[in-house]
Amino acid sequence: MERSPLTDTPRLVVISNRVAVPKARGAAGAQGGLAGALHAALKDREGLWFGWSGEESESGRTGNIDTQTNDGVTTATIDLSQRDIEEYYNGYANSTLWPLFHYRLDLAKFERETGKGYERVNERFAELAAPLIENDDVVWVHDYHLIPLGERLRSRGLKNRIGFFLHIPWPATRLFVSLPYHERLVRTMLHYDLVGFQTKEWLDSFLHYCRTELGAEVDEDSGSVTLDGRTTLARAYPIGIDWDHFSKLGETGEARNAQQRMMASTRRRISMIGVDRLDYSKGIPERIDGIGRFFDREPERIRDLVFVQIAPPSREDVQSYQEIRETLEQKCGQINGARSEVDMVPIRYVNRGYSHEELFGFFRASKIGLVTPLRDGMNLVAKEYVAAQDPDDPGVLILSSFAGAALQLQDAVLVNPHSPDDIAHAIRKALDMPLDERKARYEKMVASVRDENVQAWTADFLRDLG
Ligand code: G6P
């Protein structure tokens, strides 16, 4: 590929498992912040985005790469075989690493075969991506699916700057060591030049592991980790939203229609909203319990409220995701069965995705946003909810203190997502909050969402990597 004559900026090669958001899920933070953020990071610069097409076929084995340019972003994708998807994506990535890194040891499965599949697919990514990488490209690998990829690329002789960013939490050391071969996995991370985490908490856990389990030399101030004569930098870079894009969505007809649609259907009732991938880490059943507790305490307010939960299905072939779906159907059904009237249903539970524009309208029409994950690397829905509010009459964000976003959004009403009492209390506080306080909280939060945006995240990481 030719270099742009106007700039010396090296070409950026991004590698992630997920390249585009599945169509059925729309395109928003709720669908997983990674794909949206990487699209924003790449659209303004010369680059290439390599990863899985999301499709199942045998063609990836024969080296078949599909290259396309859409919306200013060039993607190179490969298909995965049924076995690869089973062992690498549904297996090791989403049945071992995802639950473990989200502190759900009870859901984590440790199978030798899926671990081998994970290594095999990482090797295939390296084999197919390496020839696409030119000498002075900067390479940026993303997320838990591809932890060993940097080491695999190095074994093919790549001397480029290679960085890695983890979009999910890094667990506490005592939890992480439950992973068989944990040391082998982390040693591969030390082949990157720079490793990024969403928050200082996850970074500190990683540094603690490197010091105590690997015996690496760790300098907490600079984040340098030295082992076997090689040094990797590890730092925190909180991801943000594409503020310029998102904040303008309110001007679109689609957003206005969505806002009207929601307001017309709820009439004088106050709407509360939750938007999440259908994932056990998002704390949706616990949120419904909190809402149920609020209704128990203040039954006279049920007629004034409606809760809308949008939850597009995710990773549907993984058993724990099938179970969470059943749990939620039951919980919503129970509350609606007990609390509905012929002309009023308190919970609307929707299993589909919406476009960014529509979500903007729904967020703006909702006086309370509930973002209560049990554990979350960052959570961009919280930031999108804030960005969509009317500055003259902003809604209230109820946010889990266990989401990475809570560090920046301290002016949300922070809750312990495990406690139905805490959630019920936060709902009451939000409903009764005077306009002045809502505005004061909103103004502080929106400043952070605006300034600590996805462009700043990309620039900070790539500056340190370069
Ligand atoms: C999280 C992960 C991403 C992932 C996204 C959607 O945000 O950090 O890596 O892409 O969820 O999940 P999926 O399995 O559909 O890619």
Residue 149, pLDDT above cutoff 50? yes
- The predicted pLDDT at position 46 comes to 87
Among 79, 84, 276, 376, which one carries the catalytic annotation? 376
| Nearest residue (CA) to ligand 1, atom 12 | 32
Give me the residue spans of the domains in the chain: 12-240+454-465, 243-451
Residue of higher predicted confidence among 39 and 137: 137
Residue 119, pLDDT above cutoff 90? yes
**CA distance linking residue 142 with residue 15, whole number of Å:** 6
Residue 10, pLDDT above cutoff 50? yes
pLDDT band at 7 (very low <50, low <70, confident <90, very high): low
Residue 71, pLDDT above cutoff 90? no
Average pLDDT over every residue of 28-44: 76
433: helix, coil or strand? coil
Query: What is the architecture of the domain spanning 243-451?
Result: 3-Layer(aba) Sandwich (3.40)
Give the model confidence (pLDDT) of 398-421 as tens digits: 999 999 999 999 999 999 999 999
**CA distance linking residue 80 with residue 84, whole number of Å:** 6
* Pocket of ligand 1 contains residue 34 by CB under 6 Å: yes
- Which atom in ligand 1 lies closest to the alpha carbon of residue 315? 14
* Pocket of ligand 1 contains residue 167 by CB under 6 Å: yes
Distance 393 CA to ligand 1 centre (A): 33
Residue 59, pLDDT above cutoff 60? yes
- The predicted pLDDT at position 3 comes to 44
- What's 97's DSSP letter? I
**CA distance linking residue 348 with residue 203, whole number of Å:** 38
Please choose from 89, 143, 279 the residue to mutate so as to test ligand 1's pocket, defined by most ligand atoms within 8 A of CB.
Answer: 143
- The predicted pLDDT at position 44 comes to 81
Residue 26, pLDDT above cutoff 60? no
* Pocket of ligand 1 contains residue 143 by CB under 6 Å: yes
| Nearest residue (CA) to ligand 1, atom 14 | 315
**CA distance linking residue 4 with residue 430, whole number of Å:** 51
Residue 29, pLDDT above cutoff 60? no
| Nearest residue (CA) to ligand 1, atom 16 | 18
Distance 193 CA to ligand 1 centre (A): 24
**CA distance linking residue 308 with residue 259, whole number of Å:** 13
Beta-bridged to residue 271, according to DSSP, are 306
Distance 103 CA to ligand 1 centre (A): 17
Q: Alpha-carbon Rg of the chain, whole angstroms?
A: 22
Give the model confidence (pLDDT) of 247-286 as tens digits: 999 999 999 999 999 999 998 899 999 999 999 999 999 9
Per-residue HEC secondary structure of 300-337 comes to HHHHHEEEEEECCCCCCCCHHHHHHHHHHHHHHHHHHH
- Which atom in ligand 1 lies closest to the alpha carbon of residue 94? 14
Count CA within 13 A, CB hemisphere, residue 427. 33
Among 102, 142, 167, 191, which one carries the catalytic annotation? 167
Token pair listed for 330: 């039951």
- The predicted pLDDT at position 1 comes to 41
| Nearest residue (CA) to ligand 1, atom 1 | 32
* Pocket of ligand 1 contains residue 168 by CB under 6 Å: yes
**CA distance linking residue 215 with residue 219, whole number of Å:** 12
Q: Can 71 be counted among the known catalytic residues?
A: no
pLDDT band at 2 (very low <50, low <70, confident <90, very high): very low
Q: At CB < 8 A and 24+ separation, what contacts does 70-73 make?
A: 71/39, 71/43, 72/42, 72/43, 72/44, 73/39, 73/42, 73/43, 73/47, 73/49
Q: Answer whether 11's CB lies under 8 Å from 1's CB.
A: yes
Q: Can 376 be counted among the known catalytic residues?
A: yes
The CA–CA distances, whole Å, from 265 to 28, 96, 260, 261 equal: 23, 42, 8, 6
pLDDT band at 386 (very low <50, low <70, confident <90, very high): very high
> What are the phi and psi torsion angles at 400 (to 5°)?
-65, 135
pLDDT band at 62 (very low <50, low <70, confident <90, very high): confident
- Residue 232 amino acid letter: T
CA dihedral over 454, 438, 418, 355, signed as positive or negative = negative
Give the model confidence (pLDDT) of 328-359 as tens digits: 999 999 999 999 999 999 999 999 999 999 99
Token pair listed for 282: 């998002």
The least confident of 54-58, 277-281, 440-444 is 54-58
Give the distance, in angstroms, between the CA of residue 242 and the centroid of all CA atoms in the same chain.
14
- Which atom in ligand 1 lies closest to the alpha carbon of residue 142? 9
* Pocket of ligand 1 contains residue 18 by CB under 6 Å: yes
Give the model confidence (pLDDT) of 286-311 as tens digits: 999 999 999 999 999 999 999 999 99
The least confident of 29-33, 90-94, 390-394, 396-400 is 29-33
pLDDT band at 34 (very low <50, low <70, confident <90, very high): confident
pLDDT band at 24 (very low <50, low <70, confident <90, very high): low
Burial of 214 (0-12, 13-18, 19+ CB in 10 A): middle
Give the model confidence (pLDDT) of 226-239 as tens digits: 999 999 999 999 99
- Which atom in ligand 1 lies closest to the alpha carbon of residue 145? 9
- Which atom in ligand 1 lies closest to the alpha carbon of residue 143? 9
**CA distance linking residue 303 with residue 340, whole number of Å:** 9
pTM of the model: 0.96
Closest CA to 16 of 93, 111, 70: 93
| Nearest residue (CA) to ligand 1, atom 5 | 32
* Pocket of ligand 1 contains residue 315 by CB under 6 Å: yes
Q: Answer whether 174's CB lies under 8 Å from 210's CB.
A: no
Give the model confidence (pLDDT) of 194-247 as tens digits: 999 999 999 999 999 999 999 999 999 999 999 999 999 999 999 999 999 999
Q: Answer whether 285's CB lies under 8 Å from 331's CB.
A: yes
- The predicted pLDDT at position 340 comes to 95
The per-residue DSSP string of 179-220 comes to: STTHHHHHHHHTTSSEEEESSHHHHHHHHHHHHHTS--EEET
**Domain 12-240+454-465 top-level CATH class:** alpha beta
* Pocket of ligand 1 contains residue 33 by CB under 6 Å: yes
Domains 12-240+454-465 and 243-451 share a fold: yes
| Nearest residue (CA) to ligand 1, atom 2 | 32
pLDDT band at 5 (very low <50, low <70, confident <90, very high): very low
Burial of 264 (0-12, 13-18, 19+ CB in 10 A): exposed
Q: Which of 7-11, 45-49, 58-62, 450-454 has the highest mean predicted lDDT (pLDDT)?
A: 450-454
| Nearest residue (CA) to ligand 1, atom 8 | 167
**CA distance linking residue 283 with residue 438, whole number of Å:** 25
Give the model confidence (pLDDT) of 151-173 as tens digits: 999 999 999 999 999 999 999 99
